[in-house]
Structure formats: C-alpha cells, structure tokens
Structure 1
Amino acid sequence: MLARRAYIPDELLPSEATDSWPWPLTVPCVAQLAEEGMTFERPITFLVGENGSGKSTLVEAFAEAWGLDARGGRAGRKYVNDRPKTPLGELLRWETTSAGVRHKSGARTKRRGYFLRAETAFGFMEAVSGMRGYWEEDTSEMSHGEGFLTVLSTMFREPGFYLMDEPEAALSFKSCLRLVSLLHDLGESGAQVICATHSPILAATPGADIIEVGDDGFRRTKWADLELVDHWRRYMNNPTAYLRYITEE
C-alpha cells in the first residue's frame, strides 16, 4: 500500500455553511470526503456508481494530488499542462504509508504509475505511441480494445500507483477478464490501484475493496450488495421486465 487516506485539510475548506460551498464540494461524495476523508484499506479499490455520482471527479483529483496529469499518462512524466488543476485536485492531499513516501520522494523518472482515463485515452495513445517510456506498438493500427490492453499490459506491470477511470469502455467480456487478472497480479505485487467503473466483472476482482458512490455520499459494500450487480442480474434473467418500460407507449 502506498496511500492510506485522501482528505482535504481544514484550512483549505470554505468557512461558510455546507449549502454555500462551491462545486464540486456540493457533490455528495466530495462533501463526505471533505468532512471525513476517504480511507483505502486494500491494494485494489473500486469506486462504483451511476453517471453523475462523482466517481470520475474523485479519481481525477486523486491523480492530480499524486502528481499525475488529470488527462492521463504515466508517473514520472513532467507535469506539463496548460490548464490549472481541477478544483478538487487543488484541495486534495494524501496520507501515505512509508512506501508511499519513498515512492513520491524518489527520482521522478523512476516513479511507477499511470492514470488511464477512458475519455482521453485514445488521443493520448496516438500522441505517445513509440515514445520512450511508453509502448513500442502502434496502437493506431489496433482496435480500441486491443489498444487499451496494450497500454494496460505495458504500463500496469510493476509496483506503483495506478488509477483508472472506466477502463472497461473499450473492452469485451473476455478482455475485462484479462484486466481482472492483471489487476489481481498488480495487487499481489505491492502496487495500489484505484479504479472507477460501471463493470460488475471488474468489481468482482478477488480481494478488492468496493466503495459505492451515490446520492448519499459513499460507503463500503460487498459485490453481491451493489445496486449495479442487482440490476445486471435482474436484467439478464428477464430483460423484458426493464425493456417494456422504455419500448411501450
């Protein structure tokens, strides 16, 4: 483990009442993090929730607070971004383990980590393919899924700090299972991974911690108790029970 807790120092929080806080502090999961922080107890952590729940906002800020570019990329790359950090990225801080301190204070070029953000991954892959420190393959000649797997197998293979935002976006069922294997191996190696996902396949990674993000903030839960899993189970058993509400007048 490299990081134990993400938090916002009290002195950086607005002094006004909660209902007057600016975005994104008004998002329930961010408001809860501002009040109590978010702890990390296992090498692999999944953030699961509906669109708009704030899980991507959290992961982007986690990346920036660790020194990674919110647009994606590897650790050790000099942070060159003409945009300011996200509002939450400016506020967030990490409570690290001794291993995390060594990781963050070591030589920049030797740090191991990566932020894979599905929203920007394709353009980023084309920009850096063949560059030193990345992968040798030409991802422009691959399908999106093959390109994702190339990035994952190349950049997520040593102990380090890794973040992902919806990596399943380009992956098939079998490719998601390959990613589960990779994530499990990373956790066993001493790496730490935080992943925002809609995939019940990824969230089932053995030994992973699951934090469900929603309208009431966030809470730890088990895979079988996830609303996501319940909906998929019901849908696969009887699609008509859902489809009749959107196809019938």
Structure 2
Amino acid sequence: MRRKLTLVVSSLFVIFLVFFLSREISPKQFNKNNLDSNISLDQPIWKVNQTNSPISYNISANRAFQNRTDEKFILEKVVIKEFLDSQVHSSIKSDNAFMDLDLKNLTLSEKVHLNLRLDGKELDLFTNEIILDLMQRAINSSQKIKLRMHLFVLESEGFQIKDREYRNKEISFSKAVFSQEEKEEAVYGKADLIIHNFPSDVLILKGSAEIKFNSSTLKGDEIQFNYKTRTIIKSKNSKLIKS
C-alpha cells in the first residue's frame, strides 16, 4: 500500500489568487477524510483581487488541508476580510470552511459571524452556514439567522446579501421578524420578505407585512418603515387596526 505523503508547512503560506464563484458546495465535503491527500498548511493566507474593482479579499485560517488531485481546501478557524479601497468594511468568521477552486466557491460552516461596517453603521449577523460568491460579491444562506444592530434585532429563515454599489448592500431576509424594544413603546414587525438596503435606515416589508406599534397594528402588502425615527414611510393595500 502506497504511503501518502504528508507535507506540513509551518511558516506563513501566502497564495495570491484571482478567482470567481458560481455554484453551491455540499456541506458533506467538510470531511477531511474525503480529500485524496494529507497535505496540510499552517496559517495560510489567500489574497483575492478582482479585475477593475476596488474590492479585494483576504482569506486566512489557522490550518488548511489540500487535496492532492485537485484544488480543494478544508479550512479551520477561518477569517475573511473584504476591503474597499484598502479599508476593511466587512468580515466573516467561522469554525470551518470549504473552498473548491474548480467549483470556484466557498462555504463557511459552524459559528458563522458576519460583520458589516459602512458609513459609521455596523451590523452583526449570526448563523450556521453561508455560501460566499466573490464574483457577484454575494452571500446567501438557507439557515436560520439572527441579526443585531444598535436599533433593532431581526430573525429570519434565511438571507441573501448583494452589492448594489460598492457602498450599498441589499440584504433580503425570508420569513423574517424584527423588534425594537427601547424605553419607548416596543415595535414589532414581520413579513414574508424584509429588505434592508444597508446602511440606510429603512426596512421594506413585503408579503403579509405587519407592524405593531402605539397599540395599533398596520397590515398590508408592503410597508416601508424607518427604524431610526420609528415612522411608517408608506404602505400598499394596507389597513390600520386599533387595539
């Protein structure tokens, strides 16, 4: 039986990559036993740049395991930083990640923490698994998530983040509920879909939209709510119900 060669790189391993993502990856591939090799890398860093874009990424891990026969990596204790004009404006941390350069995709799994920072605003999102697409600068997940911001908390059955502009991210939450519990009267909302064009102050509720505030409930097909001023901007096919 042929002995498999184990290569341990103890010094910092830096790989410069330019690649694009397209398809999803099956979580079952996180098993290191599925790799046709025992090649391991200590503290690797991938620097990812995109042509004609101010966006770049650093992908680092405590340890990585590479498949000998193709470009597959399993990463442990992963940190991904997204740079805009050399300034970090988002980061993702997770216990594990799978990167397949043939599929051009990354899946991050277990204790995933996404942090976004734009124009002085910050949000933190927690879930169990996300898929990262660097070509579209998009993130999506079908897992339950919890989002925390200074003025509200939101939970949903999944989400998707897309870059509309370099300084504007459209975040869509499916089957979502949010709440504001301050010294003033609490505000609660829910909808089939909630859209947040971060870093704006507006939440757009679509499909069975509902907001409870000031002892009243507003129901409609769509409601636009400013969570900073705690006011309804507009609504469609709506009805106000007094408690």
Q: TM-score range by the shorter chain?
A: under 0.3
Which is richer in helix? 1
Of structures 1 and 2, the larger Rg is shown by 2
Q: Which has the higher contact order (CA 8 A, sep 6+)?
A: 1
Structure-1-length-normalised TM-score:
0.24
Which is richer in strand? 2
